[in-house]
Each structure stands twice: as C-alpha cells, then as structure tokens.
Amino acid sequence: MEFEQLKNYFINIKHSLKSFDDDEFNYFCNTVEDTKTIIREKKRNDYEDVMTIAKKLNNLGASLDAAEILYYDYLYYLKKDDYINAYRNVSGIISNGLLGADSPFFLNFLNEIIENIGNNSKYMPFLGFLYNIKGIYVGSIHGDYETSKYYYKKAITICEKYNPEEFKNITRREISFLYLIKNNYADANLQILYNSGYNKKLVDESLEYLKCPEKISDRYRISNRITLAEFLIFCGKEKEGKEILNKLDMKGSPVYKGWIKETYKKIRANTLYFKQKYADALELSLEYFSETIQSEQVIQEQISLNFYCNMLLKILSKEKNGLSYRKKKFFINNLLRILHKKDWYYGRDHSREVRDLSVKIGEKFKLKQNKMEILTLGALFHDIGKLNIPWFTLNKTSPITEIDRDLLKSHCDKGGAFLDRLELNNISYIAKNHHERLNGSGYPLGTNKMDLITQIVAVADIYTAATTPNRKYRKAKDADTMIKELMMYKDNMFEGNIIDTFVAYLKQGM
C-alpha cells in the first residue's frame, strides 16, 4: 500500500477499535504494522504527513504505536540534521508514548532528549514542553504532585525567558502554552489539597498561577477555568465555581462537555468525603473511573484510577476500623471487573481462574491459613498491573515489537507498585515476580528467587493462559499437551515437586 492510501484508511475509521469484529481488528493491526515498516524503512518524502496518522492512532487508543511512528519520523529528520523538525516531533512522541502509554522505552527517550537539548541552548524552548510533560507524568500518572510542581516550575522559568515571536520562531507554537503549564502547577496544588485538606498558602499561590488573560486558545482557557472552578468550590465558594462551569458547558464542544461532567463527579465525590459520607464518595469515584476506562486514553484512566485509589486510602485512614469487609470486597471486585474488560482477548475471567487453580494446589501443599490467604489474593491480583497498559497493546493480534514487549513486561512492576500503594504489601511481591523463573529466564529482573506461593501462581498462570481459547491465537492447547509442557519445566524453571503436584492434580481431573 502507498503512504497516502494508508493515511486515508486510518482517517476513515469512524468507530471505536473496541467495536471492531475480529477480521476488522486483525486488518487494523496489520495495517498499523505496515505503516510502521514504511515509515521506518522505506524511502519517504518530507511532505508526507506522519503527524496526522499519529494523531488518529492516538485517538483510537493505539498511543504506543503513534509514538513509535513519530519516533521513526524523528530519526528521519535527525539524519538530515533538521533539528527543528526533529524536536518538533519530540513532544508528540513523548505525549503519546509516555502520557498515552506509560512506556519505559519513551521514559528513557525523554530523559535522553532532555539532556541533549540541555546541552544546546539554541533549542532551549523545547525544554519547556518536555519539563511540562515530565510534570504531568510524575504527577497525574504516578501521583507525586510535589515533584511535578518542581518540573512545572522549571518549564515556566524557561518559557518566561522568551518573547512570543522568538518562542514561535523556534517551536512554532504559541507562547500562551505558558498558561497551560501554570494551570498544571495550580492543579498539582489542588490534588495536594484534596488529599490533605485546606491550606491557605497553597490556595493563594494557586489563585496567583491561575490568573490568565481572556484571549488565549480555547483549550488552554477551558482547562484554566475548570481548575479555577474546582478551587472555588473546594474553598466553599460553590455558587461562583458552578457559575464558571455552567458558562463553559453552554458553548463547549462534546470533548469539553465530557471534561466538565467528569470534573463535577470529582468535586461531588470530594464534597461527600469531606461530609464523611465515605461509601457514597467511593461509589461516585468508581463511577468516574468506570466511565474513563471506556475512553481510549491511558492518561485519563490513570488519573481516575489514582483518584479512586486515593479516595479509598483516605477513607481507610479516617475510619477507625477501616472499611467494612463488604466495602473492601466491592472495591477489589470492581478493579477486577475493569481489568477483565480490558484483557479482552481472553474473553474469560483469567484472574479468578488463576486463583481457583492456585488454591487447589495450595491445598495439596497443606498451606497454613495465613499463607492460603496470601496465595488467594496474590493470585487474584497477579495481573493487576495490566490496568496500566493501553487496551490496544494488550490485545493487538499482530506481532509485537521490542517497544510493545517492554511495555507489556512492565505490568509486573506496575502491579507491585499499585498493590503497595493500596497497602497490600504482603502480596505485592507476587504481582512483581509471577513472570520470573528459577533458571533466571524470566522477567522483570531475571532473578532465580521465587517462593513456593509465587511459583504456584506462576504455573497456574501458564496453564490457564495456554488452555484458554482467545482471539489472539484462536486455538487453546489441550490439557494433555500442557502437562507434557509443564514436565519440561521441571527442575529448571520451577521446583520439581511443584510441577509434580500440578501434574498429579490435573491428571485427576481427566
């Protein structure tokens, strides 16, 4: 296919990827791969508009592939010593690859490029973009708002050095971008306030940062007003805040309307929390999370997942006896339900199947009750880190690239960190280590240390995944084949007696 044909194919996709049937989805995956190959290897011309394809892919939820395509485009310009065009791509690459997908590859790329540009004062304004992205990354994605403020400040200092013309000459962007960074700074303060309660100094500082002229582009102005409204409502000036939101709502596009609706949910959830109506607050933040998971944007999912978890943690610390068992179970079940929706190609409840099989094996080992509890919950949450992997990367049917693989592998560390945040430290190591192998051939560390419980979960995971028919490989392996395969892992990937116990149990059921 020619480049133009490829471009038209993407542009013409009207509905969401998730509503594709299997054939359409396969065709889409293959076309994405063809596009990457063409941009990476084939001869191409300067005028070919790679950015349009990347934007479309990102809107469809293939954010990592969008970043990859722009990355090849960046290499192309770099080779021609066209640094301005190369760096112009960079903020697109990082936005898609890091904010859209939270990919380790693009995190390294960001750090490298910050160093490169830092050594060449000619391209300094680009650093303003990059520090802003780094701020969003550590704040919105990883919940570290103090550090994010540090990066926003750096970005603001750089951008303020330039006059509008000079700035535009280098970056081809409006200087009003500065107000977006200031807005982000104020928003980081707001998140801190949501977590720790009213603080006059932070409120005053934020209101100062939110001062901005009427005449800036719509996108920047609207995000500025939404943050301001949130502040006013947080400070008890409900009427003023709502007035601002209503005004925006009237003439806004559907995107902004959705944005405003989400803001209302966040504000209401926080108000309920401050009124100590904890169960209602949690339910509303779940509603907010379930809605954003329907969107294609990982960053939106991340922000709302953070919000949902923060709400739970805040409530746990306030309630003397913690949440009721019923509420905790509700929280956990909802996370798993959302994960199950995301891991679309399995089409079955992978987490619970792994738990059921693990428990059966745990019983054969006569594990004590506290060990059994760790095994049960650890197995149930072993893949929870996949909540942080974009839907398209999880489900694509075309061969995955190194960059995809890096991201997929990160579900172990992401899952472990997530469980640590939920103060489930006694099971987080299972999520971290369930892809390790005793002979060091596993990931993420390649360590040869796995305890009995992790090995049980790992073998149950291998068996369950391989015997489940899915959209990716279509055919499932039968139990017989899998038993033979497991026998080959004996005394190298896993301890011999664990494999023997599994095999004995599986043969019983045949």
Binding region for Fe ion (CB under 5 A) out of 173-181, 252-260, 368-376, 459-467? 459-467
Quick one: 327 or 355, whose CB is closer to Fe ion?
A: 355
461 touches Fe ion by CB under 5 A: yes
**Site size for Fe ion (CB under 5 A):** 2
Quick one: 212 or 459, whose CB is closer to Fe ion?
A: 459
Rounded to a whole number of angstroms, the CA Rg of the chain reads 25
Q: How far is the CB of 457 from Fe ion (least distance, A)?
A: 9
Q: How far is the CB of 355 from Fe ion (least distance, A)?
A: 11
Quick one: 262 or 383, whose CB is closer to Fe ion?
A: 383
Q: How far is the CB of 483 from Fe ion (least distance, A)?
A: 19
Binding region for Fe ion (CB under 5 A) out of 48-56, 292-300, 312-320, 456-464? 456-464
Q: What's the farthest any 2 CA atoms get from each other in the chain?
A: 76
Distances (CA, A) of 315 to 305, 328, 448: 15, 11, 39
Binding region for Fe ion (CB under 5 A) out of 213-221, 375-383, 392-400, 439-447? 375-383
Q: How far is the CB of 450 from Fe ion (least distance, A)?
A: 14
Quick one: 102 or 461, whose CB is closer to Fe ion?
A: 461
Quick one: 291 or 413, whose CB is closer to Fe ion?
A: 413
343 touches Fe ion by CB under 5 A: no
Quick one: 235 or 476, whose CB is closer to Fe ion?
A: 476
**How far apart are alpha carbons 505 and 97 in whole angstroms?**
44
Contact 228, 260 (CB under 8 A): no
Binding region for Fe ion (CB under 5 A) out of 46-54, 267-275, 382-390, 482-490? 382-390
Distances (CA, A) of 276 to 3, 270, 306, 410: 57, 10, 20, 37
Read off the DSSP letter of residue 137.
I
**How far apart are alpha carbons 152 and 172 in whole angstroms?**
21
Query: In angstroms, how far is the first alpha carbon of the chain from the final one?
Result: 50
Q: How far is the CB of 133 from Fe ion (least distance, A)?
A: 28
Q: How far is the CB of 267 from Fe ion (least distance, A)?
A: 36
Binding region for Fe ion (CB under 5 A) out of 156-164, 270-278, 305-313, 454-462? 454-462
**Phi/psi at 367 (5° precision):** -65, 145
From 329, 352, 445, 430, select the one nearest 385 (Cα to Cα).
Answer: 430
Contact 395, 344 (CB under 8 A): yes
Token code pair at residue 327: 């509420």
Quick one: 94 or 361, whose CB is closer to Fe ion?
A: 361
Binding region for Fe ion (CB under 5 A) out of 78-86, 172-180, 185-193, 377-385? 377-385
Q: How far is the CB of 182 from Fe ion (least distance, A)?
A: 41
Four-residue CA torsion sign, 262, 268, 274, 277: negative
Q: What string of H, E and C letters represents the secondary structure of 485-507?
A: HHHHCECCCECHHHHHHHHHHHH
Quick one: 140 or 351, whose CB is closer to Fe ion?
A: 351
**How far apart are alpha carbons 308 and 331 in whole angstroms?**
9
Quick one: 68 or 383, whose CB is closer to Fe ion?
A: 383
383 touches Fe ion by CB under 5 A: yes
- Peptide bond just before 444 cis, omega within 30 deg: yes
Q: How far is the CB of 354 from Fe ion (least distance, A)?
A: 6
Footprint of Fe ion (CB under 5 A): 383, 461
